[in-house]
Chain A
Amino acid sequence: MNEDQINVLWSLFGFIGLKWGTAADCGMSQQQFQQALQWQMQRDPAYTGYYRDTIAEYQALLRQYGQPSLALAALITQNPYSPSNPSAVANFVLLEFMRWNIAFGGFKAFGYMNYNGWMGGGSFLQQPPPYRALNIPVQNLPVGGDHGQGA
């Protein structure tokens, strides 16, 4: 894929962050994103087609709506994921971009401290640990009442 094509996909990735309020927390750089695309295409060449299909659909929507943000919104709206939806755009592009967005920090927007795929947390032995841990001695846990310390 050429630079323009990659830029389209990067704009889609960025739009996901804006749409769901995760942009400020997602730390995936454009360089990481581009590398991730390359790895996916190397591992399975079918991804080249998935990405090109996505770009072609976006460009058609751009011609229809005239504005990138409207075209990106329509691309997402028209490609909802469901197990019965065979669309590669939905299954192998949008879903995967969204999971990268979450794993690279977007989860924080939903109140979590750690999430599968987050590389920024560090060792479980550090103080405080990089996840929500029980921070009162377990013998002091109330019996039959509220439990835990909240999100």
Chain B
Amino acid sequence: MAKVRNESANIVIVGSGVAGSLMASLCASLDGVVILETGPSIPMADPGWWFHQVARGGGTANTPYAAYYDQAADFDATGANPWNIQGGRIFGAGGTMLHWGGWVPRFKPEDFALHTNTGQGIDWPFGYNQLEPFYNQAEQYLGASGDSSDNNPPRSQPYPYGAAPYPISAGPFIQAFRQLNIDYGHLPVARYGQANDKGGPCRTTGTCDYCPVAGRFTGDQPLALLAGNPNVSLRLGAAVTAIRMLSKQQVAGVTYTDLTSGDTVELDAQNVILCNGAFEIPKLLQASTSNFWPNGIGNDNDLVGRFVSATQFFYASGTAPNPQAFEEELGFPSLYSRTYDSPECQKCGKFFISMNYEKPNIDLGLLMAQGQSISQIQAACTAPATFQLYGNLSAIPQYNNRVTCAPGTTRFGLPRTLINTPDPLFNPAAAQKYVGILENVLLKMGCSGVNSGTYPQRGDHVACTTRMANSASDGVVSPELQVFGVDNLYVVSNSVMPTLPAANPTLTLVALVMRAMGSDTALARLTKKAAPPTA
């Protein structure tokens, strides 16, 4: 029979993805660190699952984490282009970092001054130069491979690992880029160029959705290093439903449902760090109402959950002769362009272009299974093939776009999610222009049958829902990642980003943590000398 349990901890970390596992690592020398993760443990780098994935032709659908995505019943979406977040995030130890592609570009200097440059949104409380040293640290932490001679944006230290040489299939794209005066470079990725203490080295297997050797940074790797550390405990199946307050300024702890026993656990804590993502953090703050915070914690200015942003993906595809049998041989991203991810493009929306490294693709085993002969398969290898480009379009921060709780509870014991986006996330004219550029590249490559489009908004890179600002009138979280008005509540998530540029945000999130640790902030002091547990 379910009961109420009263327990205590020193530091409670809610969520175990890239942010939660990083914060746990930083706090690991302290007593009484508890990580609360609503999902289960998910086997990674498991040879049996890997054989299965190869047998089924790859893809995220054939991984053990596929069972822990949002389902249609878990959310409502309203607005002009309702989101469909199935497949966008993972509930489990390691979080959405289990399925990320490991793209780790830095944001660019102009990304920190969107308001100054365009009148949209707000500026970040600090600029690129202030964050640059911490980007170096973040690249070390994530095991980034990149081209250290690429100074767009400027960098002061080399990548920990070199960039993978372009695969032969990048040649036609590079030619077309050169003809069209489009710059290009090596897309930095979190692939260990050699073994480190978390994983790797990458063996270029191309099965990056489920790496057999942990050669791609994933959120479970830091957790594995913490296993056996008596200071840190990971509680799975712990659905946090409220943050309890002692006073307006002091958190008392959190309340969670133990999904195994059904018990309600009142877990007191000296400090609480929210790392449970840009959907769940605003919902949890909103749901945590009290006499001190009648509209939810940090929500006196009605900003929690607003400005929800995500990356909008576009593509263009075409068919071209393939006499050299180009195929997905490198197996992870390598070629990108930031020509349109530039200050000149900021007002209408910045665009980050990458080659789809998965194309051309030929499933030789499938052709065999379909009964094709050796000569038929050989012909298929050099038959005209599909080439594709992707583009990420930066998000427009919109006040009316908001995440809140919807009625009902998910299978993970959390409130269902309502994503209301009445205002457009991107400029359609800009999208049309950029997709036209992608098509032009493909035409220059000699492609025929060129087509293009976008995808339903899956909430990839969801951000900005508890944005960071210099004052509570503009945001929810301080530049030190502390919820305004609360002494012992922190947010470490993409949700703190004031705006979401075109580039992928995870590296910047880690850099934000490194920055907060690198100065005399409350969060840095917390990780160095937290008070002992009260019981």
> Which residues on the A side are within 8 Å of B207 (C-beta)?
116-117
Find out whether the CB atom of A114 lies under 8 angstroms from the CB atom of B374.
no
Find out whether the CB atom of A16 lies under 8 angstroms from the CB atom of B206.
no
B364 partner, pick from A90, A106, A131, beta carbons under 8 A: A106
The interface-forming segment of A4-12, A59-67, A77-85 is: A77-85
Q: Residue among B56, B179, B204 with the most chain A CB within 10 A?
A: B204
> Which residues on the A side are within 8 Å of B191 (C-beta)?
124
> Which residues on the B side are within 8 Å of A115 (C-beta)?
206, 327, 329, 364
Find out whether the CB atom of A39 lies under 8 angstroms from the CB atom of B51.
yes
Using C-beta atoms within 8 Å of the partner chain, give the interface range for chain A: 35 or more
Chain A: CB-nearest residue to B367: A98
Find out whether the CB atom of A36 lies under 8 angstroms from the CB atom of B51.
yes
In the assembled complex, A103 has its CB within 8 A of some CB on chain B: yes
What separation, in Å, do the CA atoms of A46 and B350 have in the docked complex?
Answer: 49
In the assembled complex, A138 has its CB within 8 A of some CB on chain B: yes
A123-147 contacts to B, CB under 8 A, are 123-125, 129-135, 138, 141-144, 147
> Which residues on the B side are within 8 Å of A111 (C-beta)?
325, 381
Chain A: CB-nearest residue to B363: A99
Total residue contacts A-B, CB cutoff 8 A: 180
Given A39-B52, A124-B193: A117 touches B368 (CB 8 Å cut-off) = no
Chain A: CB-nearest residue to B332: A124
B194-246 contacts to A, CB under 8 A, are 194, 201-207, 212
In the assembled complex, B77 has its CB within 8 A of some CB on chain A: no
What separation, in Å, do the CA atoms of A70 and B193 have in the docked complex?
Answer: 48
Find out whether the CB atom of A144 lies under 8 angstroms from the CB atom of B164.
no
Write the nearest CB–CB distance from A122 to chain B, whole angstroms: 6
> Which residues on the A side are within 8 Å of B179 (C-beta)?
143-144
> Which residues on the B side are within 8 Å of A125 (C-beta)?
145, 161-162, 164, 193-194
What separation, in Å, do the CA atoms of A100 and B205 have in the docked complex?
Answer: 13
Find out whether the CB atom of A118 lies under 8 angstroms from the CB atom of B205.
yes
Write the nearest CB–CB distance from B97 to chain A, whole angstroms: 21
What separation, in Å, do the CA atoms of A119 and B166 have in the docked complex?
Answer: 20
Find out whether the CB atom of A81 lies under 8 angstroms from the CB atom of B369.
yes
Chain B: CB-nearest residue to A111: B325
A43 partner, pick from B48, B57, B162, B206, beta carbons under 8 A: B48
Q: Residue among A115, A121, A125, A142 with the most chain B CB within 10 A?
A: A125
What separation, in Å, do the CA atoms of A143 and B176 have in the docked complex?
Answer: 8
Given A36-B51, A96-B55, A101-B365: A133 touches B204 (CB 8 Å cut-off) = no
